[in-house]
Structure 1
Amino acid sequence: MGNQLKTAALLAALSGLLIAISYWVVGGTTGIIIGIAIAAATNLFSWYQSDRIALAAYGAQEVNESQAPQLYRMVRKLAEQANLPMPRVCIVPSASPNAFATGRDPEHAAVAVTEGIMQILPPDELEAVIAHELSHIANRDTLTQAVAATVAGAISFLGQMLSYSMWFGGSRDNERGGNPIGVLATVILAPFAATVLQMAISRTREFSADAGAAKLTRNPRALASALQRLEAAAKGIPFHGANPAFEPLLIINPFSGEAIANLFRTHPSTEQRVAALLELERELSSL
């Protein structure tokens, strides 16, 4: 419950940031009303389209059992064990090893894996990764992360548009309700603030999904090993198709090889996650 309250507060902060941006840029009551309208529309759109948005962002293609029998059966087996509806199964045409889940609820969910992750992980580790994604679905993290990504993307887009406006069209006149200082602050600070809030939301969910996967498979070490393998592979095979706004959906930070990007990781460190999994292994073995 603590994580859920924290996540709700962070989502509210993201929406509040959108409203604040509109207030400072447009000015007055009109700016607040426009900000509320943008926040409501963005949240509503991501609620109903979260699965399509995320899948399209990574070019994921849905497959059936005949097209990817081993993967499809693995997802079906784990979904049955977790008492979840069978999600759609998708493959991302990328050599970079990664995976994610999306959907507004378990009845509208999808699990996606890259071609690369199926090539480098042995079956028990791939199973652990899929169990992690199914845990996100069971915890309804997929909706939370997709909404956060969409709102953060809207904030960043607004910041970019304002930047272009300042360079090519000049700042808005104060008599028309605009605030040049607000515009400048938006361009510089809004994308950064949105990233920080996204990071906080994602980090509250990853440990819980790791634990859920370990309990589902009864094999915490398999997920620990998979995370270490994926971390190492990400340094050599960067995810060039990765959309930063949707990075929190992925099981591993796709920019692990970039020093600057590591300052803004949306995931807990792999070392922390592995340590937590090995501790859980000791607890499970003592039962």
Structure 2
Amino acid sequence: MNLFKTVALLGLLSALLVMISYWVIGGTGGLLVGIILAAVTNLGSWYFSDQIALKAYNAQPVTPEQAPGLYTMVQRLCDRANLPLPGIYIVPTQAANAFATGRNPKNAAVAVTEGIINLLPEDELEAVIAHELTHVNNRDTLIQSVAATIAGAISGLAQFASYSMWFGGSRNRNQGGNPIGLLLTIILAPLAATVIQLAISRTREFSADAGAAKLTGNPKALARALQRLDATARQIPIEGNPAFEALLIMNSFSGQTMASLFSTHPSTEARIQALLKLDQQMS
């Protein structure tokens, strides 16, 4: 069910990009541009998804000599999950967070911040990394990167439309662009793209939590980690492109401060309750 919902939402997001191009540029030419732009954006985000996200958060690669404990932990979990060892990165920030990215398990990367390494005890850090590896195994990293990139393209197109309306309005009207569609695009397109992107992200988190719990055999460790991360995320938010917040294990607003429609993750309370229920089932 989650897979069907995700495919449907990605299709809707791509259709939105095509429709916006039609309204902004106008006519068949705009429709064609939208289809090409959607195809190029999907292909580009598929191939370069790992590098795009890593650069967004200034993640730095580390060697086994630089982080032996981290490498040992990731290797142990990969052996259990029958996954190839991903690239391992550290983000130089005291914000406590982690994410995974990559177009497939053979081209995946896992990044943790200096802050999360310092904050969490070993069993909780292991649970967080297991969560990220589950995203890799489920191809969630690709899905989220594609969604983030398409949403970014839609926002950029809406910004272009805004400049076009203010500085070239009469020329655009003569060329057949629809002024009402243009205005609606500027106002509603980024909002709609964000809502769809966030809905895609929320469909993936519960399954990644459950996968991590089964991989470590310790659902309570991830529950404790989420509780710690939720408490610190608002105090020290991670800096980076907001379009990629869906990749993070915890964002700055993953609690009560935003309506669920605009959250990249389910509430931390709901995730913890699901993990505690799973712990009872596994006992």
Query: Cα distance, 1:172 vs. partner?
Result: 4.7
- Distance in 2, matches of 1:94 and 1:282, equals 36
User: Whole-Å Cα distance in 1 between the matches of residues 57 and 229 of structure 2?
Assistant: 18
**Partner residue, 2:250:** 252
Q: Which residue of 1 aligns with 2:13?
A: 14
Tell me the TM-score normalised to structure 1 length.
0.95
> Which of 264, 267, 275 is 1:277 aligned to?
275
Q: Is the 2:254–2:267 Cα contact (8 Å) retained in structure 1? A: no
SS at match of 1:96: coil
Aligned amino acid, residue 55 of structure 1: L
Gaps of 5+ in 2: none
- What secondary structure, in the 3-state scheme, does the structure 2 residue paired with 1:147 have? helix
Taking the TM superposition and a 5 Å limit, the aligned residue runs for 1:10-159 are 10-159=9-158
Q: State the Cα RMSD in Å.
A: 1.5
Alignment CA distance shift 1:174-1:63 (3 Å): same
C-alpha distance in 2 between matches for 1:171 and 1:77? 63
Tell me the amino acid that sits aligned with residue 283 of structure 1.
Answer: Q
Alignment length (residue pairs): 283
Deviation at 1:237, TM superposition (A): 0.8
For residues 205 and 170 of structure 1, what CA distance do their matches in structure 2 show? 42
Flag structure 1 segments of 5+ consecutive residues without an equivalent: none
Indicate the SS of the match to 1:173.
Answer: helix
Contact 1:43 1:147 in 2 (8 A): yes
Contact 1:172 1:178 in 2 (8 A): no
Tell me if structure 2 keeps the 8 A contact 1:235–1:256. no
Residue 64 of structure 1: how far off its partner (Å): 0.9
Q: Does 1:235 align with 2:234?
A: yes
- Output one character per residue of 1:159-180: Cα deviation in whole Å (capped at 9) or x when no partner: 1222222233336533312111
- Tell me the distance in 1 between the aligned counterparts of 2:237 and 2:28: 45
Which residue does 2:4 correspond to in 1? 5
- Deviation, 1:258, is 9.6
* Cα deviation, residue 256, structure 1: 4.9
Q: Equivalents in 2 of 1:95, 1:86: separation in Å?
A: 25
Deviations along 1:156-214, whole A, 9 cap, x unmatched? 11112222222333365333121111111111101100111011101110000000000
* Matched residue type, 1:246: F
Summarize deviations over 1:229-274 as a string: whole Å, max 9, x none. Answer: 00000121122x2311101100011345894587621100000000
Q: What corresponds to 2:173 in structure 1? A: 174
Q: Is the 8 A contact 1:234 1:257 kept in 2?
A: no
Matches within 5 A, 1:176-191: 176-191=175-190
Give the aligned partner of residue 267 of structure 1. 265
Q: Is the 8 A contact 1:236 1:257 kept in 2?
A: no
Identity of aligned residues (%): 67
Q: Which residue identity does 1:42 align to in structure 2?
A: T
Moved segments of 4+, more than 6 Å: none
Q: CA contact under 8 A between 2:195 and 2:261: conserved in structure 1?
A: no
Partner of 2:206: 207
State the distance in 1 between where 2:170 and 2:111 align: 43
Q: How has the CA–CA distance of structure 1 residues 282 and 111 changed in structure 2, closer, same or farther, with 3 Å as cutoff?
A: same
Q: Greater shift after overlay, 14-23 or 171-180? A: 171-180
SS at match of 1:90: strand
- For residues 46-66 of structure 1, the C-alpha deviation after alignment (integer angstroms, 9 at most, x for no partner) is 111000111011110111100
For 1:274, the aligned partner's letter is: I
Distance 1:221 1:159 in 2: 44
**Matched position secondary structure for 1:73:** helix
Between the aligned partners of 2:95 and 2:119, the Cα distance in structure 1 is: 10
